[in-house]
Amino acid sequence: MKVHSGSFSLRTGKRLEVLDVTGEVQRIVGESGVRSGLVTAWIDHTTAALAVNEHDTDLWQDILDAFTRLVPVRGDYRHNAKYGWAPGEQNAHAHILNCLVKPDVTVPLEGGRLRLGTWQSVLFIELDGPRSRSVHAQVVGE
């Protein structure tokens, strides 16, 4: 049994944005030499999230539209009011969406690869960009 980990950086360009990070996560799994086990993709951010879904930029816009319809960017938030002087802290919507979507996703590994279906990609969801971000992958297995 082995434990291996790696990270990579990315730069988001919009307030809300979806980026496909499947290749980078798979690269870290490949470096690990682990054939069978688990990989936890993880972000140490509170205003972004990780999901697994289709690589379709139209769908990504639907996802972001639905998210901000459910939890509006501009709302009557105590967190935003407290930091009213700080333009960078008007982001309660992003914190709330992170609690719903979460900063982690754990994917089985099979034959040294993420066990993804045909339509599955690992998606980084920026909720309060543009920012410099990083994604971590922790591999456990044999």
Which residues contact its own copies by CB under 8 A? 1, 3, 5, 36-38, 40, 42-46, 51-54, 56, 58-59, 61-63, 66, 70-71, 77-79, 81-82, 92, 95-96, 98-110, 115-117, 119-120, 123, 125, 136, 138, 140-142
CB 4 within 8 A of CB 32: yes
Which of 66/130 has CB closer to its own copies?
Answer: 66
CB 3 within 8 A of CB 126: no
Shortest CB 69 distance to its own copies, Å: 9
Shortest CB 51 distance to its own copies, Å: 4
Which of 31/142 has CB closer to its own copies?
Answer: 142
Shortest CB 110 distance to its own copies, Å: 7
Shortest CB 98 distance to its own copies, Å: 6
Which of 8/120 has CB closer to its own copies?
Answer: 120
Q: What is the 3-state secondary structure (H, E, C) of the chain?
A: CEEEEEEEEEECCCCCEEEECHHHHHHHHHHHCCCCEEEEEECCCCCEEEEEECCCHHHHHHHHHHHHHHCCCCCCCHHHHHCCCCHHHCCHHHHHHHHHHCCEEEEEEECCEECCCCCCEEEEEECCCCCEEEEEEEEEEC
Which of 69/87 has CB closer to its own copies?
Answer: 69
